[in-house]
Chains A and B, each alone.
Chain A
């Protein structure tokens, strides 16, 4: 089973700053990795899929990169609505099962 590790656990930043979140897989997942944003009391929202593709309606300040075992989500300039928890997720080829990372909380400094 592939395990996803996210760092840091918490990131304290100010609006306008750049956020860099990391997700590491215990073995290669190729580019089959997604990022989600979740705000309190809400369902998660898909931000990035296939490591670097923005989902429909996601602002350009969100970008993803990486392949293999190391991935990064970058928020170029934090807006007030970006303070939330971010999860990475991978899917296995066969059988089609999914795992999530433990999350990174981006909070206001």
Chain B
């Protein structure tokens, strides 16, 4: 059974940093693109970033470029999101998501339960 478990969320002040983690199990982690998707309270879904199987390609939504960094450790079956210079508008539940197939990224078949990040003074 595919499992994705996020951790690392919490309350942080504007301008602060936070590192999210996602522990994956039940599939060959190194074979899949992985993504972070977020959802602000009461709002819709927003894709944040994704990373290729070997970590050689990374893409970001414009609003987080230069502030967030996605990474992975295939030996530890883990995905990360380093978030710097956090803003109030980054407040959201952050989901780790796995693509539907092991080829080109297309859709999100598996999701974690999410971790809440709150940016507030």
Contacts and interface: CB of A to CB of B under 8 A. Distances in A.
Interface of A: 32, 34, 36, 38, 43-46, 49-50, 55-56, 87, 89, 91, 95-103
Contacts, number: 58
A87 B95 CA distance: 15
Interface stretch (B17-25, B72-80, B81-89, B108-116): B108-116
A72 to B, nearest CB: 17
A49 B107 contact: yes
Given A95-B59, A97-B61, A89 B44 contact: no
12 contacts: A34-B107, A36-B108, A43-B114, A44-B108, A46-B100, A89-B45, A89-B108, A91-B106, A96-B104, A97-B61, A98-B105, A102-B44
Contacts of B50: 96, 98
Contacts of B35: 98
Nearest to B49: A97
B27 interface: no
B68 interface: no
B44 A43 contact: no
Name the residue in B47, B104, B107, B108 with the highest tally of chain A Cβ atoms < 10 Å from its Cβ: B107
A97 B59 contact: yes
B29 interface: no
Given A49-B106, A55-B109, A96-B104, 14 more contacts: A34-B107, A36-B45, A43-B111, A44-B45, A46-B108, A46-B109, A49-B100, A49-B107, A50-B106, A96-B33, A96-B59, A98-B47, A100-B44, A103-B45
